[in-house]
Amino acid sequence: MAEHPPNGLVPQKRWSQLVTQESNALDLEPGVFTWSDPAAIARSLMRAAEASNRRKSSPFRSAMSMLTFYINRAGSRLSSDQLIRLEVAKDELRSLYGRSRKVSA
């Protein structure tokens, strides 16, 4: 586990990295969000969510939440190509769980 300051607070700019690395809900494969194959990213997230007995919601919601969290926290640091791959990975994840994308009018 990463070293934390004596007061137990996590430095502001690194808390999201710690969440991704030390998530108590899912054990993610190293570098999963940097992979070039969206289907492989989705399958890895699905495996992690299905294998976890520490998650608080359904496997689909846990996997999608972790992916969305990463996209939101990485923000402008993501290349446009990687952002597209991760958005496609969301669609792949929905497909793996037999869910369709909800489009609002």
Longest dimension (CA), the chain: 50
- Interval 50-75 mean pLDDT: 90
pTM: 0.74
Burial label, 89 (beta-carbon count in 10 A; 0-12, 13-18, 19+): buried
Q: Is the pLDDT of residue 54 over 70?
A: yes
Calculate the alpha carbon distances from 99 to 25, 61, 82, 102 in Å: 22, 11, 23, 9
- Interval 84-100 mean pLDDT: 94
Per DSSP, 57 falls in state S
Q: Is the pLDDT of residue 33 over 80?
A: yes
Phi, psi (deg, nearest 5) at residue 34: -100, -5
Taking only the tens place, the pLDDT of each residue in 2-27 is 555 555 555 555 655 666 555 556 88
Q: Quote the pLDDT of residue 55.
A: 81
Taking only the tens place, the pLDDT of each residue in 38-50 is 999 999 999 999 9
Kindly list the domain boundaries of the chain, sorted by start residue: 58-98
Q: Quote the pLDDT of residue 63.
A: 94
Those residues whose C-beta lies under 8 Å from the C-beta of residue 97, and which sit 6 or more positions away, are 46, 59, 60
